Structure 1
Amino acid sequence: MYELVPSVLNSEEKNTLRQFISCLGSTGKNYFLRNEILQVFGDYCHQIEKPAYFYHSSSLGALIHYTHEMILEEENTWFVLRPKIGNQEVWRLTADLTQFDLMTPKSLLDVSDRLVNRYQPNILEIDLQPFYQNSPKINDPRNIGQGLTFLNHYLCNQFITEPKYWLELLFKALQKLAYNEIQLLVSDRLSSGIELAKQIKPALNFLNQLPPKEPYAKFRTQLQELGFEPGWGNNAARVRETLELLQRLIDTPQPAILEAFVARIPAVFRVVLISIHGWVAQEDVLGRDETLSQVIYVLEQARSLENKLQQQIKLAGLDSLEIKPHVIILTRLIPNCNDVASPSQGTSCDLPLEKLDNTENAWILRVPFRGFNPEITDNWISKFEIWPYLETFTIDAEKELLTQFKGKPNLIIGNYSDGNLVAALLSRRLKVTQCNIAHSLEKPKYLFSNLYWQDLEDKYHFSAQFTADLISMNAADFIITSSYQEIVGTPDSMGQYESYKCFTMPELYHVIDGIDLCSSKFNMIPPGVSENIFFPYSQTEKRNAKQTQNIRNLLFTHQNEYIIGHLEHPHKRPIFALTPITSIKNITGLAECFGQSQALQDRCNLILLTSKLHPDTATNLEEATEIQKLHQIINQYNLNDKIRWLSMRLPSRDIGECYRIIADNQGIFVHFARFESFGRSILEAMISGLPTFATQFGGALEIIENHGNGFYINPMDLAGAANKIVEFVHKCDTKTEYWHEISQSMIQRIRHKYTWDSHTNQLLLLAKIFSFWNFVEPEDNEARDRYMETLFHLVFKPRAESILNKMA
């Protein structure tokens, strides 16, 4: 930027810049985001007949393309530039275009406050940078989100630099591993890392004399005499391999060896997954619309974790000691748990303890909110209203967890903002490794939500939520994201976590530096999809003929009060969408896209599956508005004979069959959201064999990346989106095998990258590595956590209490 800016101001382009700023000012606005800036600049270049290269390749064009925000004041123009991913610069240009100065983040926050007439000279400033400055840092932005790989390399380098010191740390870390009263791996016969290293060779000599499949129980005593306790393996071959890995790690530390060794260490037995507000149940009623994806994610993750822990315990030879994994999903108990949308569908959300289906020792533990106001706490509470109850919930949940586990968990996993805050509080109290998962943060979803938080406070309570996010993401030992874009976005857009780097909450606080995006705590581990439920349409042997026929009738012909529309030509290629009705999910945009395109209507039918059909069934004003808008679009474009709008909550197995039936008819799946952090339904549709078109805004870019730009759609460009779908349909009509080729490639994409087995392996490896990291580098964490406690008590609690006072 230091070279680019002078090249503009010292050339003829200076006058063009002045005129462009004047064009922005003529709109009557003062604050502009990137899309608006590019649109106005493009229109201006066209108006003054600049050649095409000027828009893209001139110095001014480059400057404008790096600009993500602009603020116009009478005396200055402010540019927020993003020269590279994860990096932001603030520049101030004087009105006479003579000075272009690099400014501090604080100056940008001050001018933002002035913009909304809420500037105050003395305001709380939150700066987390000091707690990260001495931590190892990822320097290459392309490697952000690969914290495990980075930390493995870093630790191996430390082993090489100071081998004796790090051998001693490794020994102490292994020595503290135990399950209840059972000592694991290293006994008190060994008193140092050097002794441990010396005993490996005689242990290997002994093991080499045994048959490879000799059960551990038959030679346990001999290994204990050498100082080795249970946990190295279930037979002679496995124990030998694990000790050989340790020997190689000591002799020649390498990241691959470290990872392989740590993966075998039995350090995780008890795991708690936290999903507070999600109406967590099983089978028919999995969750409310706003939390359905989260609940399914947590249930599948819990099953996968228990299964993987069983495997690891068995391979470590610990099953013979009656050691078993114990997984708990922690949520809230809801006394009045009938589904208001479908009163006949009760749930088990009033049960304190419920066994998780298809598991041996995984449970849903429900702890009630304390009854500050039973009229509220006995019922479901929206995610926006839940904040006042979380601290006391944490205290009560801690007691229940310790009782159920008969000890402390080894790993606490939070989900979403509220679950992550509880995870942070529990982790602090129990001194347990904390993992954060928040695939969908609210702050980047709602434009200017921080700037206008006071205007939105009664409805959304963002002051509590954004503060909770800051606390939990910084308190977390590691953070799991589904995609790179969740962290730092793309060259054209800011990432979800990046949006917490620097922002203002006018008259409440300024965040000068809210999170270190280059920290090793960020790790990309995409979720999987359950192939027991969602599997390719071509696997006919796994499908139930009666179920298939019932779902086919439901999708195409059946009529009842929960279905609108009939298909005049049911054999047209179906376009299928399944989504909650929210402005973000934008199902109304898809309907309008279909309604405006005669070419789409000529070739396709549109089938929509939601949970609501009429405004009077909506749970909030936004939902009611979107439902009403969808009715208006259907009437406006006369779509009743080209659309099927089904309003019902189907069990997951029926939803899986919906995808497959659409695939039977060589249809497509469309995800038309204005923004989607990841998109569970995209995975489900693709594994079912459906060619999938998904929004270009968010994590879907990484899911379908190998299909190129052809399957990304801009939900703001209705004509362009329609043209992409029509083009695909035309190719399918003219080339017999094209649909099948795309279908098969979609299936392979998911099977290659998005599996629960891979997800769980990486998750447990992260838990073990970061537990070791916290053991060897605890000092900065303690200071950081004290800072988080201060934010909790002095900022979050007053905001949460104000919500409770308004409800009283």
Structure 2
Amino acid sequence: MDKPPLHILMLSIHGLVRGHDLELGRDADTGGQVTYVVELARALGRNPNVEWVDLLTRLIDDREVSSDYAQPEEKLGPRARIVRLPFGPKRYLRKEVLWKHLDHLVDRCLHHLRSQEKLPDVIHSHYADAGYVGTQLSRLLGIPQIHTGHSLGRGKLQRLLQSGRKKSSLERQFNFAQRLAAEEEVLSHASLIVASTRQEIVTQYGDYINFDAKRASVIPPGTDTTRFSAPGRRPISETVCRMVDRFLDIPEKPCILAICRPETKKNLHRLLTAYGEDADLQEMANLVIIAGNRDDIQTMEAAQQQVLADLLLAIDRYDLWGKVAIPKHHRMEDIPDLYRLAARRRGVFVNPALTEPFGLTLIEAAASGLPIVATEDGGPIDIIGNCRNGLLIDPLKPEGIALALKTVLSDRKAWRTWARSGILGVKRHYTWAGHVAQYLNAVRRVLRKDRKRFRRQLATFAHDRRSALPLARQALISDIDNTLIGDQEGLEQLIEWLQVRAGRVAFGVATGRSLAGTVRTLRDWRVPMPDVVITSVGTEIAYGPDLRADPGWAKLIRHQWRRDALAEAMTAIPGITLQQKENQRQFKISYNVIPELMPPIDQVGAYLQRLNLRANLIYSHQAYLDILPVRASKGQAIRYLAYKWGLPLNSFLVAGDSGNDIEMMLGDTLGVIVGNHSPEIRSLKGRHQVYFASDHYARGILEGIAHYQFGGSSHPQRFLTS
């Protein structure tokens, strides 16, 4: 029987992503990853075994960038497109600033997928930020996740610390804590990790606690050999020749070509040092550095300013005017001609980066018949091993860089051999057709393994509609203790507000209490039974007056849950004691905490990860610790309900007061934090759609309702007075 064609959702959410005239090098976020995801989407769309490919990225409405990035859709081919969803501010943001907005994207993605005719077969995330989003979607929808890291945070952090940077300043600039946590989480969850090289698996991913090499596959990227070819087959643009030659006294000399973004890790200053301190190398060749595009260095990001300023100062220090070309502007379509120009002049391509996960420019240079000199880290080891077209260098030793360049430039016979070998090696190892064939085989293996389990979960998730809740247009979900209850008069006013809107606004509670404890408390405070009850910190969902349990939720969160092993492991943690038996549930282990004795919560999480145990740790009121399945929390439960009922997340007003309410507040929900909140929830101040009320308990909820004009425009003022 023929295999059904696949529907693939790819996530690549930072940088400037479009299908034409890629602005490579414009900034640190628009580089090789953008090229890879666009070309992969196109190549997959050409394959008859693929039904459809959506490359989902961020919609950017900013006068400082092209209006192309504000278009909701862009076609890439017959069965491939770019889909852009807005989240966070409209303006363009660097990737380190996007982290606090990623939960909004999860919610926008859920709404987008809900509107489609069918869900994708797999979610393929690229880089840590998309990995975070992909993991949330995979858990909520029961769709396998594939992940490509492109570059990893742990190695970058180590290199920057070794260079003398302070950890605190690095955290402010790069948000490493969030990035590393997201990388560990995606490595724990993803069904397949796609790597470019074996070295990437062994050396780079090997530093992570949750990495399992059995779930990794080496699939080298492809290159478009219709664009990159040896000189002679097509003319080289005169514009490109002028762009380079106007800097040079003797333009006909061989050319040392470097193409990369102006980033410290690209190590351009050592390349320039190698050239500037070797008179023989200067005599043999010119140096051409294509380091992104710039109008005015002073308007660029600080890190890029520093790199380019250092390069220009080094050119002046070594008096290299007339020997070094460093153009201000180039177009994407100029890149193939730059390789061909360097090859025609018997030059060499150099990549001196401190670390290089793959190195797509090396493949492009090889396909253009240009020998390469590259760092002995990561992808270049495999590329030169496969193509036999150049030399590896230690990127920390300028004299070694200079020696390798002179070796390639001075041996004409070896140069011709390397040029031919590179062209043949790319055709043998690095075509898009070959990449897609390997990729689809790996995806099919994932689906064979996971299909039955995911299909079971999804069928229950999509079709188990046990209540009339889908008829509601909005939903108010509140924590109980210290939020809904605490002020009887304010509670009665809130109940009256809800009764006026019965049928239009669903009412639910989300609490850390057990179901039995929840029912008792609601009766004691004379609260009518809610439409939905989320209990035990989001691990149980029940509906209506008869409290019918949602079996789909239980099946969904059971993934990777090892209750007995977790309970045993936690006996080694000081400062915690098990709560009473009523608070222990099938999917929840609850402890009382002595804060000054318990280790920091991130250390507890790392300890469990080392034991290969997966859990969601919820610390609240500086007194309680709940251990839950990785898919369970109040916030995840609300997203499950949103998808199930077909309501957008901004139709949910959620109210809370403590740390176990934080996940409810993230994303597109309308968050209300009552005035009597606990200290740990203050971290949400300034967050998107999180309102801090001044009134306490139910009066604080009513204040939030008025703030958002939730449930209609009519908000009787007597509800808001004492």
Does the TM-score normalized on the shorter chain lie above 0.5? yes
Q: Percent identity?
A: 27
* C-alpha contact (below 8 Å) 1:338/1:347 kept by paired residues: no
> What's the CA shift for 1:337?
5.3
Matched with 2:170 is 456
The secondary structure found in structure 1 opposite 2:104 is: helix
- Deviation string 1:671-713 (CA, Å, 9 cap, x unpaired) is 0111111111111111111001111122211110157796001
Inter-CA distance 729–443: structure 2 relative to 1 (3 Å threshold): same
The secondary structure found in structure 2 opposite 1:331 is: strand
Inter-CA distance 336–710: structure 2 relative to 1 (3 Å threshold): closer
The secondary structure found in structure 1 opposite 2:374 is: strand
The secondary structure found in structure 2 opposite 1:447 is: helix
Greater relative CO, 1 or 2 (CA 8 Å, sep 6+): 1
* C-alpha contact (below 8 Å) 1:417/1:438 kept by paired residues: yes
> What's the CA shift for 1:550?
2.2
In structure 1, C-alpha distance between the alignment counterparts of 2:107 and 2:666, rounded to whole Å: 19
* C-alpha contact (below 8 Å) 2:184/2:211 kept by paired residues: no
Matched with 1:391 is 103
Counterpart selection for 1:528 from 204, 217, 222: 222
* C-alpha contact (below 8 Å) 2:388/2:422 kept by paired residues: no
Matched with 2:210 is 515
* C-alpha contact (below 8 Å) 2:387/2:424 kept by paired residues: no
The secondary structure found in structure 1 opposite 2:68 is: coil
The secondary structure found in structure 1 opposite 2:369 is: coil
- Answer yes or no: is 1:685 the counterpart of 2:396: no
* C-alpha contact (below 8 Å) 1:614/1:624 kept by paired residues: no
Counterpart selection for 1:413 from 120, 124, 137: 124
Inter-CA distance 756–785: structure 2 relative to 1 (3 Å threshold): farther
> What's the CA shift for 1:761?
1.2
The secondary structure found in structure 2 opposite 1:468 is: helix
Matched with 2:60 is 334
- Answer yes or no: is 1:766 the counterpart of 2:484: no
In structure 1, C-alpha distance between the alignment counterparts of 2:683 and 2:301, rounded to whole Å: 18
TM-score normalised to the size of structure 1? 0.56
> What's the CA shift for 1:536?
2.4
In structure 2, C-alpha distance between the alignment counterparts of 1:802 and 1:649, rounded to whole Å: 47
> What's the CA shift for 1:448?
6.5
- Deviation string 1:128-162 (CA, Å, 9 cap, x unpaired) is xxxxxxxxxxxxxxxxxxxxxxxxxxxxxxxxxxx
Counterpart selection for 2:83 from 365, 368, 373: 365
Q: What amino acid sits opposite 1:460 in the alignment?
A: F
Alignment of 1:39-78 (within 5 A): none
- Answer yes or no: is 1:595 the counterpart of 2:276: yes
- Answer yes or no: is 1:608 the counterpart of 2:319: no
Matched with 2:34 is 295
- Answer yes or no: is 1:444 the counterpart of 2:181: no
In structure 1, C-alpha distance between the alignment counterparts of 2:406 and 2:132, rounded to whole Å: 46
> What's the CA shift for 1:578?
0.7
* C-alpha contact (below 8 Å) 1:414/1:435 kept by paired residues: yes
In structure 2, C-alpha distance between the alignment counterparts of 1:549 and 1:402, rounded to whole Å: 51
Q: What amino acid sits opposite 2:196 in the alignment?
A: S
Alignment of 1:306-325 (within 5 A): 306-308=45-47, 310=48, 312=49, 325=51
Counterpart selection for 2:9 from 272, 276, 297: 272
Matched with 1:350 is 70
Q: What amino acid sits opposite 1:498 in the alignment?
A: G
Q: What amino acid sits opposite 1:622 in the alignment?
A: A
Alignment of 1:405-804 (within 5 A): 405-447=116-158, 453-488=167-202, 495-500=203-208, 514-518=209-213, 520-538=214-232, 540=233, 543=234, 545=235, 548-557=237-246, 566-612=247-293, 616-617=297-298, 619-651=300-332, 653-706=333-386, 711-732=391-412, 737-775=413-451, 781-783=559-561, 784=614, 787-789=629-631
Alignment of 1:247-262 (within 5 A): none
> What's the CA shift for 1:532?
2.2
> What's the CA shift for 1:437?
0.5
- Deviation string 1:255-298 (CA, Å, 9 cap, x unpaired) is xxxxxxxxxx22x4211111111221132244543232111101
> What's the CA shift for 1:750?
1.4
In structure 2, C-alpha distance between the alignment counterparts of 1:802 and 1:408, rounded to whole Å: 37
* C-alpha contact (below 8 Å) 1:278/1:294 kept by paired residues: no
In structure 1, C-alpha distance between the alignment counterparts of 2:56 and 2:418, rounded to whole Å: 40
Inter-CA distance 804–754: structure 2 relative to 1 (3 Å threshold): farther
In structure 2, C-alpha distance between the alignment counterparts of 1:709 and 1:667, rounded to whole Å: 13
Inter-CA distance 368–516: structure 2 relative to 1 (3 Å threshold): closer
Q: What amino acid sits opposite 1:457 in the alignment?
A: E
In structure 1, C-alpha distance between the alignment counterparts of 2:291 and 2:282, rounded to whole Å: 21
Q: Answer with 591-600 or 796-805: which moved more.
A: 796-805
- Deviation string 1:412-436 (CA, Å, 9 cap, x unpaired) is 1100011111111111122112100
- Deviation string 1:96-118 (CA, Å, 9 cap, x unpaired) is xxxxxxxxxxxxxxxxxxxxxxx
Q: What amino acid sits opposite 1:572 in the alignment?
A: K
In structure 2, C-alpha distance between the alignment counterparts of 1:298 and 1:703, rounded to whole Å: 20
Q: What amino acid sits opposite 2:150 in the alignment?
A: H
In structure 2, C-alpha distance between the alignment counterparts of 1:347 and 1:687, rounded to whole Å: 33
Q: What amino acid sits opposite 1:471 in the alignment?
A: E
* C-alpha contact (below 8 Å) 1:581/1:612 kept by paired residues: no
The secondary structure found in structure 2 opposite 1:656 is: helix
> What's the CA shift for 1:445?
1.7
> What's the CA shift for 1:567?
1.5
Inter-CA distance 776–362: structure 2 relative to 1 (3 Å threshold): closer
* C-alpha contact (below 8 Å) 1:463/1:799 kept by paired residues: no
TM-score normalised to the size of structure 2? 0.62
In structure 1, C-alpha distance between the alignment counterparts of 2:345 and 2:316, rounded to whole Å: 26
In structure 2, C-alpha distance between the alignment counterparts of 1:803 and 1:600, rounded to whole Å: 56
- Deviation string 1:6-58 (CA, Å, 9 cap, x unpaired) is xxxxxxxxxxxxxxxxxxxxxxxxxxxxxxxxxxxxxxxxxxxxxxxxxxxxx
The secondary structure found in structure 2 opposite 1:711 is: strand
* C-alpha contact (below 8 Å) 1:529/1:755 kept by paired residues: yes
In structure 1, C-alpha distance between the alignment counterparts of 2:682 and 2:382, rounded to whole Å: 40
> What's the CA shift for 1:777?
7.3
In structure 1, C-alpha distance between the alignment counterparts of 2:21 and 2:171, rounded to whole Å: 34
Q: What amino acid sits opposite 2:216 in the alignment?
A: F
Matched with 1:401 is 113
In structure 1, C-alpha distance between the alignment counterparts of 2:300 and 2:292, rounded to whole Å: 11
- Deviation string 1:534-592 (CA, Å, 9 cap, x unpaired) is 22224x1xx2x4x62222222213xxxxxxxx212222111011110111011121111
- Structure 1: gaps spanning 5 or more residues: 1-184, 186-231, 233-264, 314-324, 340-345, 371-376, 489-494, 501-513, 558-565
> What's the CA shift for 1:299?
0.7
Q: What amino acid sits opposite 2:31 in the alignment?
A: L
Q: What amino acid sits opposite 1:585 in the alignment?
A: K
Inter-CA distance 729–302: structure 2 relative to 1 (3 Å threshold): same
Give the CA RMSD over aligned residues: 2.9
* C-alpha contact (below 8 Å) 2:254/2:285 kept by paired residues: yes
* C-alpha contact (below 8 Å) 2:73/2:84 kept by paired residues: yes
Alignment of 1:147-296 (within 5 A): 185=1, 232=2, 265-266=3-4, 268-286=5-23, 288-290=26-28, 291-296=30-35
In structure 1, C-alpha distance between the alignment counterparts of 2:259 and 2:161, rounded to whole Å: 30
